[in-house]
Amino acid sequence: MRVFGIDPGSGRTGYGCIESSGGRHRLVICGSLAAPSSATFPQQLEAIHEGLASLLARVRPDCVAVENIFHAKSARSALKLGHARGVALLAASEARLPVIEYAPAEIKRAVVGYGRAEKPQVQQMIKLLLGLDAAPSPHDVADALAVAICHVHSSTGAVAERIRSEKPASKLRSWRAYRP
């Protein structure tokens, strides 16, 4: 399964695509999109949209996972973030890809094991989970990869789907009962 993660932002939008067979994850591509500081806000949104649309066409993921808005420093920054999320959702919709959204605490819990983890902790776990030489930087890139990994680890992700297809529902038990 190929999952494209997006950490939307009006100044810089992080993206990351991973391929997962369930147990192992492999980095496909990652980076961030940013318009020049002299660009107007509509030009910034256009740059995000065009960049994401081009990347989605090139990498051809199975789905897109996006970080949800949970709070912002001000109403103005929340509105700008909402616009950036809307542009990201539009790019995924135009590519005819399913979109799944996750709350920041849910993403941190799936990747680090703690919903209030700090950004450096997320970066280090992404480095370990993907077997990278260095932690992804800037943090927007690590956050986008974390969103993709969260989807794979979630109940709607590839791992859960594989497990459901292998075992009848009546035989599913608690993780505590698992014996390899």
pLDDT digits (tens, 9 = 90+) for 79-136: 999 999 999 999 999 999 999 999 999 999 999 999 999 999 999 999 999 999 999 9
| pTM across the whole model | 0.85
3-state secondary structure of 98: coil
Rounded mean pLDDT, 22-29: 90
Residues 18 and 126: their CA atoms lie apart, in Å, by 11
Instruction: Assess whether 67 carries a catalytic annotation.
Output: yes
Q: Which residues, at least 6 apart from 100, have a Cβ–Cβ distance to it below 8 Å?
A: 63, 64, 65, 66, 151, 154, 156
User: Total structural domains in the chain?
Assistant: 1
3-state secondary structure of 125: helix
Tell me, what amino acid is at 120? P
3-state secondary structure of 115: coil
**Full residue range of the structural domain in which residue 172 is found:** 2-177
Instruction: Assess whether 133 carries a catalytic annotation.
Output: no
List the catalytic residue out of 140, 143, 161, 166.
Answer: 140
Q: How many CB atoms lie within 10 A of CB 17?
A: 25
3-state secondary structure of 128: helix
CATH number of the domain encompassing residue 156: 3.30.420.10
